[in-house]
A and B are shown apart, each in its own frame.
Chain A
Amino acid sequence: MWIEREALAAELPAAATLATRQLAETLASLGFPVDAVEHRPGTEVLDVDITANRGDAMSHRGLARDLSARLQQPLAPLAPPAAAEGEPRIPVCLPAAACPLYATALLTLGEGRTPEAVQAFLLALGSTPKLLPAVDASNELLHRYGHPTHAFDADRIQGAVSVRMARSGETLVTLDGVTRKLTLEDLIIADEAGPIALAGVMGGDGTKVTEATRRVLLESAWFEPRVVRAAAHRHGLHTDASQRFGRGADPALATVARDLLVQRLQDWAGATLEGAWTAGKLPAPPPSVDLPKDLLTRVAGEPLLLAEAAKALKALGCGVVAEPGHLRVQPPTWRHDLALPEDLAEEVLRLRGYEHIPSVLPPLEGPPRPLSPDYLHRQALARRLAHLGFHQTVTYGFVSPEMDQAFPDGPRPVGARVADEPGHRTLLNPLGREYSLLRRSLVPSLVEVAKRNLQQGQRDVRLFEIAPVYWGLPSGPLENWDWSVALLWAGERWDGDPESKAGPATLKHLLGILKDSMNPMDAGISVYPIQDGMVVAEYFLKHFRAPDARIIPTYTSHSRFPAVERDLSLVVDRNLPWQAMAEAVRAVLKDSALADLTCADLYQGKGLEPGTKAWLLRLTFQAMDRTLVGAEVDGWVARALAAAESLGARLRA
């Protein structure tokens, strides 16, 4: 909201002496940060941020009130000559509870125009003067005092006026020329022909003031904030008026604003007052609130005198009665946000300045809780993968249907498919089709990131992400999600050593990374190539090895006797899986001192029969209790060879 320095000083003369920076800091310390200061011809304007609870501060007068309380300087008086009220010239009835008070006046306009100074004031606030005194005056009053008013062309009003809820099927062309379909929840001003304004939001086009207008009917009312907010939201009409009524206007200001408007039209446009009258009455004031001393002390962090609190609250316009141990506080008519003792405590602290709040560490009242195993697991895994050369990515949790379709699998338990109906993970109101599905898999996002990195000239792309994935079931994504871990390796694998060769990233390297950080790979293989030189893997986090909860695991002994290593160079069928060989050999050596069995070398080159490959089996024997003798090792190796031969292997010549 824009605030003009001179208009502020008109409400609070002491504000004129403050430097702009000082004024901005004072406003900020009261809860109204200044986002910008701009110079306009002959003056300066401040862009002040007003929080949603402070509709009362949305005017020069409103901010001046808080500044006055802080600076302990008086406000300029606001007492326009009261228009003498008489019999209604046009009957006004208020059947709706949402409008308890409607002050109005009927004037015949004379000659005259909006004063230069007022035009300049409106321009400084970024508002264009309409050069129609009734419109400009209403606008000026809104910015100066915060109470929205409206002027109708009285000659276009047919019969009596009522402020009522709209009826089904009614429409209204608002001032912006748009035809609005009204609903039963819309509060409207209507004449006998139908709606003439959307209450508290915008006037109607058919009764608007124009150059031709001779007589005006003024409106200065009070509307229920909730009803105005809903209407503004429903019709997408967020106007200066709806923002103020929607946050709560000051009902006591309704007649004052009407009188100010009358006075301006008389002064500027030579208007003659035909009559002034008010329908309804002030809504009941909000109930009083007690501020107990102990609550104030707790919130403030130090014992404050109730007398000091009373002084602050009075400065803000509250009625205060001191009672033993607490203050009984009647909030002023313009403050709709003071309903709890905490609200009052905040006012006392706010006026005092938050800089006076002491700084104390809260005492520990119970034992701290440990970090959850799940959180620690993700943290440890991320660190491990980063140490293995992978880069953690953060990508959006939603993807396009095409990306989703391209990788429909996602992580899954062994051999199982997770049931998934994408309709259950579709957003109602996505930013666009591109972002319309909660993702089933992290892979599409990683692939996209990898391709971009390769395009950028990265030779070795290693990525991982740990994030939730969803599967579509009737109970919805709130129930059907879990943490997933995806890894991607693309491009060239090279350790930066000029003496070693670079090679493409292959599945075996990714599998090695997985073996490093996973539980026995019982999760079902979700490792697959995407394109040449790009491989990915994705598993649920729970399939990865969690950090051991024990500080030090139970002792396991290691042999102190020498180990014996024996190699068997075998030629086997090219399709023979290592798993089968390892299992067969281990099976016959169950009672031996076999400590380790590895494939130390793979040869598939020249000199082998087609359809075969050569493995160098390395058997390591070690006993816990003695040095092994050659003969027993020979026996075991012979058994291993026999087992290998049963799988079609033979010793390589």
Chain B
Amino acid sequence: MDHLLPPEIAEADRAFPEALAACGDLDALLRLKGTYIGREASHVAGLMELLKAAPKEQKRDLGAAINALKNRWEEALKARQGDLEAAKKPAGAAAWDATLPPPLPARGALHPLNRLMDRLVDVFRPLGFHVEEGPEVETEEHNFDGLNIPADHPARGSADTFYLAAHPGQLLRTHTSPVQVRTLKHLAPRIRETGGIRFLAPGRVYRKDEIDPTHSPMFHQVEGMLVGHGIGMQHLKGTLEYALRALFGPTAEIRLRPSYFPFVEPGCEVDVSCPLCGAKGCRVCKGSGWVEILGAGLIHPNVLEFAGIDSKVWSGWAFGMGVERMAMMLSQTPDLRLFFENDQRFLEAMGGLD
């Protein structure tokens, strides 16, 4: 069919490979591209004119010939363009040393204490617990009075609690329990419609302890609280058994021991079977097979009444857990101060990302 093409086109086609090879850069190539297949005044444009004027019976064959020629030129131009572009790049870029490790995307870390608190929230979410938070600077009313802590309790003293110099009524909360008082007061008016109260309160707390391997003036707690109808010790035990098994594995056992906190009655300490040795006895559990993990109990009726909740109708449980203590136990971190030193290597190893 090529016989249908004019001789000057055949000539141009013969000259094409040489012209293509002569293009030393992209600009030259673009000029060549314009001459051969450009929209105006190019060989292809001329052929299109020719096609328009061609007799009907020739049109089909001529069209096919033009198309074939155009495609051939286009492909060759494209290939040459690729070569020229590759040649333009610095030599190194193409030559990647595949034996080297590939670059990794940036990777930071959440703080291990925050990760642990997030995990606790995740564990309690399916039971309908949400998160409540309060300010770190609190009033005596929320931090002590509302929690049935007697006016002469030593914890109120300036040897144990940080107070603000210019604001005698304000202090740094010594536990997350004031969140209980705030939340109970806040939700009390609607408790009938909401059908009880259940929440976790993770946060930072302050006590006047000198800094040493097991003490810090700032640490974290997670408080849990549930108020409903007919809540008893069995519900506390059932919830904690679920939660601690979710954290430590399905074979974990828990043990409640009587204890005393002013804001609960009955009160208890809760032990979990040592997750490190499988309760066989090790350094962490001091050979006993049990590790103390939190304090808990049924909410003292005075605490409910203080918040305006009828303790004859409503009852509930509460627990409070030291986050650092649990983190240290789980990770066998020997020194509490490591959590506040924030060495990036520590954070990467201990915190990481989900």
Q: Which residues of A contact B (CB under 8 A)?
A: 28-31, 33, 51-54, 226, 229-230, 233, 297-302, 340, 342-343, 345-346, 349-350, 354-355, 357-372, 374-375, 379, 382-383, 385-397, 423-431, 435, 438, 449, 452-453, 456, 458, 461-464, 467-468, 470, 476-478, 481, 495-500
Contacts and interface: CB of A to CB of B under 8 A. Distances in A.
Interface string B140-179: 0000000000001010011100111111101010000000
Nearest to A337: B260
B268 A354 contact: yes
A181 to B, nearest CB: 19
B250 interface: no
Contacts of A470: 137
11 contacts: A345-B266, A358-B234, A360-B238, A369-B199, A390-B108, A424-B167, A431-B208, A464-B108, A468-B136, A470-B137, A478-B167
Q: For B218, B235, B301, which residue has the most chain A Cβ atoms within 10 angstroms?
A: B235
B343 A452 contact: yes
Contacts of B260: 31, 51-54
Given A354-B268, A476-B170, A495-B104, 16 more contacts: A29-B257, A350-B266, A354-B255, A355-B256, A359-B234, A364-B128, A372-B130, A391-B109, A392-B114, A397-B218, A423-B165, A424-B164, A426-B164, A426-B165, A478-B135, A498-B100
Nearest to B234: A301
A185 B226 CA distance: 41
Contacts of A392: 108-111, 114, 347, 351
A368 B200 CA distance: 12
Contacts of A477: 137, 164, 167, 170
Contacts of B266: 299, 342, 345-346, 349-350
Contacts of A31: 257-260
> Most chain-A Cβ atoms within 10 A of its Cβ — which of B167, B204, B267?
B167
Most buried by A among B125, B137, B298: B137
B166 A302 contact: no
B170 A478 contact: yes
Interface stretch (B56-64, B80-88, B334-342): B334-342
B114 A382 contact: yes
A302 B232 CA distance: 9
Q: Is the interface of B mostly helix, strand, loop or mixed?
A: mixed
B16 interface: no
Contact of A361 (B92, B238, B342, B353): B238
Nearest to B168: A428
A363 B226 CA distance: 11
B293 to A, nearest CB: 14
B261 to A, nearest CB: 9
A386 B135 contact: no
A101 B256 CA distance: 40
B315 interface: yes
B213 interface: no
A449 B100 CA distance: 33
Contact of B194 (A298, A366, A464): A366
Size range of the chain B interface in the assembly: 35 or more
Give the top 6 A-B pairs by smallest Cβ distance, nearest first.
A366-B195, A301-B234, A389-B106, A31-B258, A497-B103, A346-B266
A435 B256 CA distance: 38
B211 A431 contact: yes
Contacts of B246: none
A393 B298 CA distance: 35
Contacts of A230: 152
B167 A476 contact: yes
B13 interface: no
Nearest to A347: B266
B235 A301 contact: yes
B118 to A, nearest CB: 7
A429 B108 contact: no
A22 B319 CA distance: 28
Contacts of A229: 152
Contacts of A464: 108
Nearest to A30: B258
Contacts of A386: 108-110, 353
Contacts of B166: 423-424, 426, 476
A385 B138 contact: no
A453 B344 contact: yes
A500 B239 contact: no
Contacts of A29: 257-258
Contacts of A301: 232-235, 237
B309 interface: no
Contact of B165 (A54, A391, A427): A427
B248 to A, nearest CB: 16
Given A299-B232, A476-B137, A389 B107 contact: yes
Nearest to A389: B106
B265 A346 contact: yes
Contact of B233 (A349, A363, A427, A463): A349
Contacts of A458: 344-345
Most chain A beta carbons < 10 A, residue from B194, B230, B241: B230
A389 B167 CA distance: 40
